[in-house]
Amino acid sequence: MSEPEAVSPSAWRMRASAWDARGNHDEAINELARGTKAGDVACTRDLGVRLLLGDRAPLLPREGLNFLGEACDRGLGEAAARAAGILALGVHTAPDWPLALAWLARSANAGWQPARAQLRALCDDDALAALSTEASFTGWNALATAIRLDDWRRAPDAVVRCDEPRIATFPGFLRAAVCELLIGFATGRLAPARVYDVSTRSEVVNAHRTNTIATFDVAEVELVHALVQARMAAACGIGERYMEAPTVLHYSPGQQIRDHYDFIDPASTTDYAGEIARNGQRLVTFIVYLNDDYEGGATDFPRLGVTHKGSRGEGIYFVNAQPDLSPELRMLHAGRPPTRG
């Protein structure tokens, strides 16, 4: 995947950031508007995203899309990709995948290489996808038309590894090209993973977890993230609206996350009910293995006698809560350290 073009922080964007840091978001929006009026394309993109999301700004989706389209037409193709991701998620409205795909094609036509890579990886016409690697290729709209969007709300058959509590795997959940795409989007974004500390009610770096992580917030999400999450939701029977931010985990040799729960351990706090009220309950965890060229690194469930080393593109999900929403304490698990790869 080609590197995205760099966007320098202009004086307007820097002043907007300073106003945001002070809590004066109205003045931050005014700075972005001034930069937009002066022809700063990055300000136009930032203003469009904030209005489309209602992020520290009025919720003005039509105006937000207009600004993003303007930024794209003036040479910042990434702006249209931002519109595609937000529309695919359905922020403040139902997801609109056909419209999102049209915006992704607009981004690709404007020369944004990550948009082109998405269309190529998602395309269901292998011959057309191969043709799109040629430098002279211009058929990005045709590539978008060859994507079967409805397939992303269906999942392959599950292989039940444990019936109660449920652990199931999904061989062939993602094709290899999509796995490579997701790895590419995470490259350069990885940071030390954190764990939730109930004593401080904050996320902290802890020796219990040594891997790295890349998280994509709503203003950074790509259309492909939304499609993958929709397939996850279909596989485990959870509504798409309940999904957390898309996240990519990376484990170098020796890195791991030791035995833990994916919910608040009742034994770790005297205010369990309060923690659930504040943070909610994580009912299901869904993981897709993006590569398999490593040794070790299994997902281990020691209390259930299940250990699984996934293959590239395979999904696995497990249930963290009992039917009454109380925590499933048998679902203790760990990401064991890779020894190579």
- Tens of pLDDT, residue by residue over 20-44, are 999 999 999 999 999 999 999 999 9
**One domain for residues 134 and 23:** yes
Instruction: Check residue 135 and give its pLDDT.
Output: 95
Domain-embedded: residue 6: no
pLDDT confidence bin for 4, thresholds 50/70/90: very low
**One domain for residues 260 and 181:** yes
Domain stop point among 93, 122, 147? 147
Instruction: Check residue 341 and give its pLDDT.
Output: 84
**One domain for residues 180 and 299:** yes
**One domain for residues 60 and 199:** no
Instruction: Check residue 3 and give its pLDDT.
Output: 42
Domain-embedded: residue 73: yes
Task: For strands 167-170 and 315-319, give the pairing.
Answer: antiparallel
Domain-embedded: residue 125: yes
Average pLDDT value for the chain? 94
Neighbours of 339 (CB within 10 A): 11
**One domain for residues 333 and 275:** yes
Rounded to whole angstroms, the Cα distance separating 151 from 84 reads: 18
pLDDT by residue (tens digit) across 70-107?
999 999 999 999 999 999 999 999 999 999 999 999 99
E-only strand ranges, 144-290: 159-162, 167-170, 191-192, 195-197, 202-204, 212-215, 247-250, 257-260, 284-288
Tokens of 42: 């990055």
pLDDT confidence bin for 200, thresholds 50/70/90: confident
Rounded to whole angstroms, the Cα distance separating 236 from 239 reads: 9
pLDDT confidence bin for 274, thresholds 50/70/90: confident
Instruction: Check residue 7 and give its pLDDT.
Output: 54
| Residue whose token pair is 């925590």 | 327
Rounded to whole angstroms, the Cα distance separating 269 from 340 reads: 37
Contacts of 299-302 with CB under 8 Å at 24 or more apart are 299/333, 299/334, 299/335, 299/336, 300/333, 300/334, 300/335, 300/336, 301/162, 301/167, 301/331, 301/332, 301/333, 302/259, 302/332, 302/333, 302/334
Which of 1-5, 59-63, 259-263 is predicted with the least confidence, judged by mean pLDDT?
Answer: 1-5
CA angle 94, 186, 152 (to 5 degrees): 35
Are 160 and 167 in contact by the 8 Å Cβ rule? The answer is yes
Instruction: Check residue 278 and give its pLDDT.
Output: 86
Domain-embedded: residue 128: yes
Closest to 262 measured CA to CA, from 283, 248, 276 = 283
Closest to 79 measured CA to CA, from 55, 112, 102 = 112
Rounded to whole angstroms, the Cα distance separating 33 from 79 reads: 16
Neighbours of 270 (CB within 10 A): 9
**One domain for residues 43 and 119:** yes
Domain-embedded: residue 2: no
Residue 143 maps to which CATH number? 1.25.40.10
Rounded to whole angstroms, the Cα distance separating 236 from 173 reads: 12
9 vs 91, more confident: 91
pLDDT by residue (tens digit) across 226-254?
999 999 999 999 999 999 999 999 999 99
pLDDT by residue (tens digit) across 154-172?
999 999 999 999 999 999 9
Domain-embedded: residue 1: no
pTM of the model: 0.93
Instruction: Check residue 316 and give its pLDDT.
Output: 98
**One domain for residues 143 and 166:** no
**One domain for residues 102 and 193:** no
Domain that holds residue 218: 154-340
pLDDT by residue (tens digit) across 290-324?
999 999 999 999 999 999 999 999 999 999 998 88
Percent of the chain clearing pLDDT 90 (strictly above): 85
**One domain for residues 174 and 285:** yes
Q: How many CA atoms lie within 13 A of 129 on its CB side?
A: 14
Rounded to whole angstroms, the Cα distance separating 117 from 114 reads: 5
**One domain for residues 159 and 75:** no
User: How many Å from the N-terminal Cα to the C-terminal Cα in the chain?
Assistant: 21
Over residues 119-136, mean pLDDT: 97
**One domain for residues 184 and 249:** yes
Domain stop point among 88, 119, 147? 147
**One domain for residues 139 and 264:** no
Q: In what order do the strands lie in the sheet with 212-215?
A: 191-192, 212-215, 247-250
Domain count, the chain: 2
Is it the case that residue 45 has pLDDT exceeding 70?
yes
Domain stop point among 95, 119, 147? 147
Residue 318 maps to which CATH number? 2.60.120.620
